[in-house]
Amino acid sequence: MSETKTALVTGANKGIGHAIAAGLGALGYRVGVGARDRSRRETAVEKLRAAGVDAFGVPLDVTDEESVTTAATLINRLDVLVNNAGISGPFGPGWVQDPTTLDLDVVRTVVETNVIGVIRVTNTMLPLLRQSPSPRIVNISSSVASVTRQADPDIAIGPIMAAYSPSKSFLNAVTVQYARQFAGTKILINAACPGLVATDFTGFTGRTPEEGAATAIRLATLPDDGPTGGFFEDAGVIPW
Ligand code: NAP
């Protein structure tokens, strides 16, 4: 890169977010490690620096207005925002998020992080992103957000997750609204599914975080004529 670009990854202290931060760092980006816990954040920054990444810590809880506002003041340039921080809400082996018995507080908490948190962070970081020559926003979604797939009994697999899946469908829908609003600007925004990835989130079932990070990294580094308002996995476009 002729001039060093800066990326911010939310929830970058572990899992897929950490792998995205490492991947962008390896491509020469300066990387802000957004993380809410000080010790986990500092450990992640140290790990990235040890791997040669120009990383810096950004205290960031996506559900906390003041935390997000303060985070923006710690960043003086922003080219890439990866909204990765997310939660599933409770579920477990043999225990689904049954829509007929769902705790409404679970729905609120999941939407607060997975959707409202993304809108909060995006809008707070927008003034910085607008100054970039090629701003990119990647929202980490999930293939379980695909209403088309969820509605097809031959395709829908895994547990029923009546809080988590719709929260990511909501995130996808919001992503499209941003893309409409950004039409005619340099900002490209897309949603990415990492696939099933072995992290805390899945009880460490699935492929590696590095493999899960690949689509997000591709979307974070799109050329100016790249797609916007799309929903992608490794194999290509995911149906809404
Ligand atoms: P993970 O290992 O549990 O990591 C989640 C990250 O989000 C952690 O860094 C966590 O921070 C952070 N986070 C949660 N709430 C936050 C908040 N309020 N403010 C700031 N950070 C917060 O899970 P993962 O598998 O890497 O998941 C990353 C993203 O991928 C999520 O959006 C998830 O929905 C999506 N995804 C994952 C899979 C999969 O198979 N793993 C599949 C599809 C989509 P703490 O350490 O402080 O909790």
CATH code at position 163: 3.40.50.720
Using CB distances shorter than 6 Å, the residues near ligand 1 are 10-11, 13-17, 35-37, 40, 60-63, 84-87, 113, 117, 140, 142, 193-194, 196-197, 199-202, 206
Name the residue with the closest Cα to ligand 1, atom 34: 86
Domain tally for the chain?
A: 1
Indicate whether 82 belongs to any domain: yes
| Residue from 9, 14, 63, 232 to probe ligand 1 pocket by mutation (most atoms less than 8 Å from CB) | 14
State the Cα–Cα distance between residues 191 and 122, nearest whole angstrom.
Answer: 13
Mean pLDDT, the chain, whole residue set: 96
Name the residue with the closest Cα to ligand 1, atom 12: 11
Please write the tens of the pLDDT for every residue from 12-58. Answer: 999 999 999 999 999 999 999 999 999 999 999 999 999 999 999 99
Indicate whether 218 belongs to any domain: yes
State the Cα–Cα distance between residues 107 and 122, nearest whole angstrom.
Answer: 21
Indicate whether 164 belongs to any domain: yes
Q: Please determine, for residue 1, whether its predicted confidence score (pLDDT) is greater than 80.
A: no
Indicate whether 156 belongs to any domain: yes
State the Cα–Cα distance between residues 206 and 222, nearest whole angstrom.
Answer: 26
Q: Give the residues across from 30 on adjacent strands.
A: 6
Name the residue with the closest Cα to ligand 1, atom 8: 11
Element (H, E) at 82: strand 80-83
Name the residue with the closest Cα to ligand 1, atom 41: 197
From 27, 24, 44, 46, select the one nearest 36 (Cα to Cα): 44
Active site residues: 164
Range of the domain at 71: 6-237
Q: Give the residues across from 32 on adjacent strands.
A: 8, 56
Answer yes or no: are the C-beta atoms of 82 and 138 closer than 8 Å: yes
Determine the atom of ligand 1 nearest the C-alpha atom of 209: 26
Please write the tens of the pLDDT for every residue from 124-178. Answer: 999 999 999 999 999 999 999 999 999 999 988 788 999 999 999 999 999 999 9
Indicate whether 221 belongs to any domain: yes
Would you call 78 exposed, middle or buried from its count of C-beta atoms within 10 A (0-12, 13-18, 19+)?
Answer: buried
Determine the atom of ligand 1 nearest the C-alpha atom of 117: 18
State the Cα–Cα distance between residues 9 and 81, nearest whole angstrom.
Answer: 6
Indicate whether 1 belongs to any domain: no
Answer yes or no: are the C-beta atoms of 27 and 61 closer than 8 Å: no
